[in-house]
């Protein structure tokens, strides 16, 4: 127990004589981080009266001119906006359906590939599974093209 206390005292003494780190030296060079107090000034009515008289408030905004009413519908009428909204929704739905179709075909292609390698009968594997694999591959290619077209159509409709 005496040894442990002796070692602890030794370590504390060594830490006391250790050199300061560069960060501590920089803080000491900067007066230990003490700040100079900035004198506070209370602004009174007398100070305001002595001022230059210029106001810092903005002048009132000019009145907006009245909009002339006309019988012609304005550009971007509600009917046009409604049609655009429906077109966007339809394009989004088309994109979502195409995305789901691509995902399903991709899963089916993976399943057929696994079935090809798992099949022991080479005739069945080469005749049936390989044909379905090629057919699914063509369908997937077509579906990806449809998805790209749907995304392009959706991009054209977005603002």
Distances (CA, A) of 78 to 73, 82, 127, 153, 158: 9, 6, 59, 22, 17
Residue labelled with tokens 């009413």:
69
Tokens of 108: 């089916």
Give 49-92 pLDDT, tens digit per residue: 787 666 555 555 555 555 555 454 456 688 888 888 899 999 99
Q: How far apart are CA 20 and CA 145, in angstroms?
A: 69
pLDDT < 50 regions, the chain: 70, 72-73
Say what the pTM is.
Answer: 0.48
Reported residue count of the chain is: 159
- pLDDT at position 59 is 55
The answer to whether the beta carbons of residues 153 and 91 sit under 8 Å apart is yes
């Amino acid at each position: 127990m005496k040894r442990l206390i002796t070692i602890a005292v030794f370590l504390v003494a060594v830490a006391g004589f250790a050199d300061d780190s560069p960060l501590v030296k920089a803080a000491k060079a900067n007066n230990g981080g003490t700040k100079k107090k900035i004198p506070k000034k209370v602004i009174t009515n007398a100070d305001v009266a002595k001022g230059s008289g210029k106001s810092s408030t903005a002048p009132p905004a000019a009145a907006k001119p009245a909009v002339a009413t006309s019988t012609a519908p304005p550009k971007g009428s509600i009917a046009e906006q409604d049609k655009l909204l429906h077109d966007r929704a339809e394009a989004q739905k088309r994109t979502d359906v195409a995305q789901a179709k691509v995902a399903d075909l991709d899963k089916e292609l993976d399943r057929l590939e696994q079935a090809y390698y798992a099949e022991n009968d080479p005739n069945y594997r080469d005749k049936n599974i390989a044909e379905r694999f090629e057919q699914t591959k063509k369908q997937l290619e077509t579906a990806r093209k449809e998805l790209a077209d749907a995304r392009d159509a959706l991009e054209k409709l977005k603002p």
